[in-house]
């Protein structure tokens, strides 16, 4: 098919492509833009055609002619069929430009009239294809788009390869896709132009599979199921979508521990080679598919005496890929294993699991197989599974523990001890630890439909609340029901008041109330002799007091760290260890803070606690960012965000931190996007604390982007929110210096000085040395704007030295940049080398770009002060304009002027604009200069 330049294809849906294909798409786009060709390769269903179609749609507009063909296996024996698809519609256009012999050969091949073959008209036909492409290219660029190149008929493939190798500088590009199982694309590359770039389309990650399923409407699948889909599909989007469709249509989900049901469409695709296996070999493969890490030795122990010979037979058919460096028997694709298991009758599956329950050496594996081999309730099986779940929990595999716990509940008799619901709730708590919040919520809701024991009901309510995360407004109705179920039991009440602490903090934004709830929870837990929950409540109280700048914070941390300790609290993200980390980083003890949070991260990764891992990854990233290691911080923040989105845990907090890291060491546009996303998400959840944090990140990104007015708008809101929340520790958000700097840039010097004065008072009270240094830098900028250049320069030089000693690398570099910017306004030499060196050491790429831009500016004479209007000029102002100007001279902010004159802030701003125009000045600074001039008259 030929597409002319004036033909515009209908817009295509791009989301499937964007999901997981950005890198390969970007490389292909760049290659095509340079005039090169691209060969996409990968296994069936991996998404080659999707990428190819989108690239063709994007690049087709730049070509005068687009030639297309898409071969199929059933037509691959028909000679010249692909050639007819490519050139059939342009034959009339090129016929007058081909020699007679070439035209005759080409017409014969395309129409089927005559007896043209490559043997009879070989050279003429080869030259005809080459000439036709050159003739088309003479009129404008040509793009050849060929999908499923492996099915091209051999005659067309040979002719296309002949022409491709000889096109040289002719503006003909080829965009092809070929199915390959490994890296065997070389022969197709040899039939492509010499400059062809081969790109492998790789499997999707688990996060990308989740996004793809959601885009296609399969949104009701638990995250644990999505994880199983990713594992079973091997990241193949076609397989993943088929599995997602089958699960969404199946009202009965698979039992815990069982492989996913495989739809008939995929069974047919992967099992057609099974018919060539003997019955015994097929049974051996079924045992292998039921095992976690099958080996020939394990298969023999499970009763498959000829395991080696039977697995060799399967490997020869491409069903197995035995590891050359180890004994493990591995299926060629996970889907083969799943389809084989799904195809087997239920009694054969149970027999396989029964054999493996005796043969497996690992107790967790033995218990799982015993459960899947047993039907109905059985106390022995249930106890074995509960013990295996505890072992998995200790090994740091909470997801496995949750699966085993559900199996234990299934096999526990109704009158068993513990009862089935108690085991389900333990499984739900393990699921929370593993980050499988949907599963945990579903279990808890199910238990609540029938549980009558108060302890079980309160435990289930707490799980429901926990799985809501920061969106606590969604579970407001739960608290009265939980309190009613708890009655007068201090242990149960302690659990609920701990959750009410979170509600007071996140929903109401009331730090005083949150502190009271945490203290009450700790007292109730102590009365119930519940040391674990007492320590958790004390740690939470300490974090709240730290954020408030409360003087009791150190004493509360000490109480939370007092013996006896509980090892579960030590590495919990809301435990005393993390409270201590927050105190250290806010107190400028960066080295000790890094050591503390790194140790916590190592421990939770060992234990498999995903929620705590997300928190501690952010903690390490924050420490690296404060230390000026922007590249390392960005990598960790991105990892935290990916994990948060994959699990649904801490997405807003991770987006906020990643925004800060992007603005410091990555892409500013991405920083702005993430910050706005975080604010929107927090506002939707009613989470006032993270609305504030998201706005602080947005303000910083806007400052780096050069949008001083946007920074002021965002950070003024932060100031109002934190005043309302009662947050008085400036080290919590560290936005004050950015607000003051942005206010200076827009000429609001009075407000900037007010921010500096208030922040300095708070920082002096709490001993926040780095905050004091940053506000001193901001004050130096205020003084410079007022013309006190020498004093400002001395202050900035001192600040840079103080920040360097404290270890705040990025703030040190920002101060060095401010120093050189001020020096360029003075009659003395100035160089950006020091600022560039410091930003480069931090890998602070956005800031380094600002240095490069400043360096590229032509050298100009030092800026002279704008002409100061005379006092007589004020007489030409209207009454309101004179009043506003007089208050500006006194240093009043726009808000203060509005209050004193009983007008709106917008009216003040409009009036000032008229004043500037009438006086021939640019900013409030010039009005201040006028005031200084009047005082010296």
Distance of CA 768 to the CA centre of its chain: 32
Q: Say how many C-beta atoms besides its own lie within 10 A of residue 907's C-beta.
A: 16
Mean pLDDT, residues 199-222 taken together: 82
Please give the Cα distance from 738 to 716 (Å, whole number).
11
Q: Say how many C-beta atoms besides its own lie within 10 A of residue 472's C-beta.
A: 23
Q: Is 187 exposed, middle or buried (0-12, 13-18, 19+ CB in 10 A)?
A: exposed
pLDDT value, residue 243: 84
pLDDT value, residue 318: 75
Continuous segment of H or E residues that includes residue 849: helix 845-856
Residue with tokens 């400002």: 792
pLDDT value, residue 115: 54
How sure is the predictor about 807, in pLDDT bands with cuts at 50, 70 and 90?
A: very high
Check pLDDT > 50 for residue 12.
no
Residues 407/443, Cβ–Cβ less than 8 Å: no
DSSP of 320-349 = B---TTSS---BSSHHHHHHHHHHS-HHHH
Distance of CA 462 to the CA centre of its chain: 28
Positive/negative CA dihedral, 904, 909, 914, 916: positive
Per-range mean pLDDT, top range of 151-155, 350-354, 548-552, 605-609: 350-354
What number of residues does the chain have? 937
Q: What is the pLDDT of residues 317-347, one digit of tens each?
A: 778 875 544 567 888 777 788 878 888 888 9
Please give the Cα distance from 897 to 899 (Å, whole number).
5
Residues 36/195, Cβ–Cβ less than 8 Å: yes
How sure is the predictor about 185, in pLDDT bands with cuts at 50, 70 and 90?
A: low
pLDDT value, residue 117: 54
Q: Alpha helix (H) ranges present in 360-394?
A: 363-373, 379-394
What Å distances lie between residue 417 and 290, 383, 443, CA to CA? 30, 10, 19
Please give the Cα distance from 512 to 492 (Å, whole number).
23
- Kindly give, in sequence order, each residue whose CB lies less than 8 Å from that of residue 822, ignoring residues fewer than 6 positions away: 784, 789, 792, 793, 796
How sure is the predictor about 73, in pLDDT bands with cuts at 50, 70 and 90?
A: confident
Please give the Cα distance from 85 to 151 (Å, whole number).
14
Q: Quick one: the chain helix, strand, coil %, rounded to 5?
A: 70, 5, 30
Q: Is 186 exposed, middle or buried (0-12, 13-18, 19+ CB in 10 A)?
A: exposed
Please give the Cα distance from 243 to 218 (Å, whole number).
10
pLDDT value, residue 538: 92
% of the chain exceeding 90 in pLDDT: 34
Please give the Cα distance from 453 to 582 (Å, whole number).
39
Mean pLDDT, residues 308-314 taken together: 87
pLDDT value, residue 879: 75
pLDDT value, residue 10: 31
The first and second tokens of residue 638, run together, are 């991105």
Q: Is the peptide bond before 180 cis (omega within 30 degrees of 0)?
A: no
This prediction has a pTM of: 0.59
Residue with tokens 């001020």: 822
Distance of CA 85 to the CA centre of its chain: 43
How sure is the predictor about 393, in pLDDT bands with cuts at 50, 70 and 90?
A: confident
Residues 914/876, Cβ–Cβ less than 8 Å: no
CA proximity to 289, closest of 304, 275, 278: 304
How sure is the predictor about 14, in pLDDT bands with cuts at 50, 70 and 90?
A: very low
Mean pLDDT, residues 353-373 taken together: 88
Q: In three state form, how does the secondary structure of 490-514 look?
A: HHHHHHHHHHHHHHHHHCCCCHHHH
pLDDT value, residue 510: 84
What does the mean pLDDT of the chain come to?
A: 84
Q: Say how many C-beta atoms besides its own lie within 10 A of residue 878's C-beta.
A: 12
Per-range mean pLDDT, top range of 532-536, 713-717, 729-733, 746-750: 713-717
- Kindly give, in sequence order, each residue whose CB lies less than 8 Å from that of residue 719, ignoring residues fewer than 6 positions away: 739, 755
CA proximity to 139, closest of 86, 103, 90, 99: 90
Q: What is the pLDDT of residues 113-132, one digit of tens each?
A: 555 555 556 788 888 899 99
Mean pLDDT, residues 627-639 taken together: 93
Check pLDDT > 80 for residue 81.
yes
What Å distances lie between residue 459 and 103, 109, 456, CA to CA? 83, 77, 5
What Å distances lie between residue 193 and 42, 164, 172, 274, 768, CA to CA? 20, 5, 9, 40, 64
How sure is the predictor about 743, in pLDDT bands with cuts at 50, 70 and 90?
A: very high
Mean pLDDT, residues 552-559 taken together: 86
Mean pLDDT, residues 489-510 taken together: 89
Beta strand ranges found along 871-912 (DSSP E):
none
Mean pLDDT, residues 765-784 taken together: 93
Q: Is 58 exposed, middle or buried (0-12, 13-18, 19+ CB in 10 A)?
A: middle
How sure is the predictor about 861, in pLDDT bands with cuts at 50, 70 and 90?
A: very low
Say which DSSP state 150 is in.
G
- Kindly give, in sequence order, each residue whose CB lies less than 8 Å from that of residue 666, ignoring residues fewer than 6 positions away: 634, 845, 846
The first and second tokens of residue 403, run together, are 């699966």
Among 33-42, 258-267, 695-704, 905-914, the minimum mean pLDDT is found in: 258-267
């Amino acid at each position: 098919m030929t597409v002319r330049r004036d033909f515009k294809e209908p817009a295509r849906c791009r989301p499937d492509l964007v999901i997981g294909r950005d890198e390969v798409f970007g490389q292909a786009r760049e290659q095509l833009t340079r005039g090169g060709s691209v060969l996409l390769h990968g296994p069936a269903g991996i998404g080659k055609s999707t990428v190819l179609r989108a690239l063709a749609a994007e690049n087709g507009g730049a070509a005068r002619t687009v030639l297309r063909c898409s071969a199929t296996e059933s037509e691959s024996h028909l000679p010249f069929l692909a050639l007819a698809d490519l050139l059939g519609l342009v034959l009339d256009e090129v016929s007058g430009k081909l020699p007679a012999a070439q035209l005759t050969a080409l017409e014969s091949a395309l129409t089927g009239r005559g007896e043209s073959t490559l043997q009879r008209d070989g050279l003429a036909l080869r030259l005809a294809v080459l000439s036709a492409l050159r003739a088309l290219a003479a009129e404008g660029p040509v793009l050849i788009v060929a999908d499923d190149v492996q099915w091209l008929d051999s005659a067309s493939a040979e002719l296309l390869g002949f022409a491709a190798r000889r096109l040289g500088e002719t503006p003909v590009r080829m965009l092809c896709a070929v199915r390959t199982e490994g890296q065997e694309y070389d022969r197709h590359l040899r039939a492509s132009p010499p400059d062809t770039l081969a790109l492998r389309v790789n499997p999707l990650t688990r996060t990308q599979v989740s996004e793809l399923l959601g885009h296609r409407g399969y949104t009701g699948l638990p995250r644990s199921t999505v994880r199983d889909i990713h594992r079973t599909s091997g990241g193949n989007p076609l397989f993943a979508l088929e599995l997602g469709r089958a699960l969404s249509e199946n009202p009965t989900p698979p039992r815990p521990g069982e492989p996913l049901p495989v739809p008939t469409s995929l069974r047919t695709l992967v099992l057609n080679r099974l018919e060539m296996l003997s019955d015994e070999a097929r049974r051996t493969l079924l045992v292998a598919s039921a095992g976690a890490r099958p080996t020939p030795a394990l298969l023999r122990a499970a009763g498959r005496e000829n395991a080696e010979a039977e697995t060799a037979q399967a490997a020869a058919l491409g069903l197995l890929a035995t590891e050359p460096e180890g004994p493990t028997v591995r299926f060629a694709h996970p889907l083969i294993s799943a389809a084989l298991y799904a195809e087997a009758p239920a009694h054969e599956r149970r027999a396989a699991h029964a054999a493996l329950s005796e043969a497996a050496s690992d107790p967790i594996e033995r218990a799982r197989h015993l459960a899947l081999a047993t039907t109905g309730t059985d106390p022995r099986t249930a106890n074995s599974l509960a013990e295996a779940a505890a072992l998995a929990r200790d090994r740091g595999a909470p997801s496995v523990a949750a699966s085993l716990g559900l199996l234990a509940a299934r096999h526990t008799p109704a009158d068993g001890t513990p009862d089935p619901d108690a085991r389900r709730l333990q499984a739900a708590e393990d699921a929370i630890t593993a980050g499988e919040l949907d599963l945990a919520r579903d279990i808890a809701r199910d238990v609540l439909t029938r549980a009558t024991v108060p302890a079980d009901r309160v435990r289930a309510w707490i799980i429901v609340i926990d799985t809501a995360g920061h969106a606590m407004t969604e579970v407001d109705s739960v608290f009265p029901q939980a309190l009613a179920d708890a009655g007068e039991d201090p242990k149960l009440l302690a659990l609920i008041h701990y959750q009410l602490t979170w509600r007071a903090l996140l929903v109401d934004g009331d730090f005083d109330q949150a502190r009271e709830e945490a203290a009450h929870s700790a007292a109730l837990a102590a009365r119930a002799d519940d040391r674990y929950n007492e320590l958790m409540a004390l740690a939470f109280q300490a974090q709240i007091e730290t954020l408030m700048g409360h003087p009791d914070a150190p004493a509360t941390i000490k109480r939370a760290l007092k013996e006896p300790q509980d090892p579960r609290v030590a590495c919990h993200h809301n435990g005393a260890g993390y409270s201590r980390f927050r105190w250290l980083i806010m107190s400028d003890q960066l080295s000790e803070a890094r050591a503390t949070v790194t140790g916590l991260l190592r421990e939770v990764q060992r234990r498999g606690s995903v929620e705590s891992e997300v928190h501690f990854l952010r903690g390490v990233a924050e420490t690296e960012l404060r230390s000026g290691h922007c590249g390392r911080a960005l990598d960790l923040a991105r990892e935290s965000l990916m994990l948060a989105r994959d699990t649904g845990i801490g997405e807003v907090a991770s987006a906020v931190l990643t925004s800060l890291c992007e603005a410091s060491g990555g892409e500013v546009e991405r920083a702005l996007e993430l910050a706005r996303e975080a604010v929107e998400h927090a506002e939707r959840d009613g989470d006032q604390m993270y609305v504030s944090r998201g706005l602080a990140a947005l303000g910083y990104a806007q400052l780096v982007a050069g949008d001083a007015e946007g920074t002021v708008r965002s950070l003024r809101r932060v100031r109002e929110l934190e005043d309302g929340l009662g947050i008085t520790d400036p080290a919590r958000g560290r936005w004050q210096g950015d607000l003051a700097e942005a206010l200076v840039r827009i000429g609001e010097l009075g407000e900037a000085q007010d921010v500096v004065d208030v922040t300095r008072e708070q920082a002096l009270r709490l001993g926040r040395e780095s905050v004091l240094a940053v506000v001193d830098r901001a004050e130096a900028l205020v003084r410079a704007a007022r013309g006190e250049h020498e004093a400002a320069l001395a202050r900035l030089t001192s600040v840079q030295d103080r920040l360097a000693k404290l270890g705040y690398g990025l703030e040190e570099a920002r101060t060095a940049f401010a120093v050189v910017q001020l020096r360029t306004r003075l009659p003395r030499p100035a160089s950006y080398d020091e600022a560039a060196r410091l930003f480069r050491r931090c890998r602070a790429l956005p800031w380094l770009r600002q240095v490069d831009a400043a360096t590229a500016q032509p050298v100009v004479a030092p800026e002279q002060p704008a002409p100061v209007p005379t006092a007589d000029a004020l007489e030409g102002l209207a009454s309101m304009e004179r009043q506003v100007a007089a208050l500006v001279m006194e240093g009043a902010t726009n808000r203060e002027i509005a209050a004193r004159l009983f007008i709106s802030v917008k009216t003040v701003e409009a009036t000032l604009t008229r004043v500037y125009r009438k006086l021939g000045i640019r900013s409030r600074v010039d009005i201040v200069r006028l005031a200084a001039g009047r005082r010296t008259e």
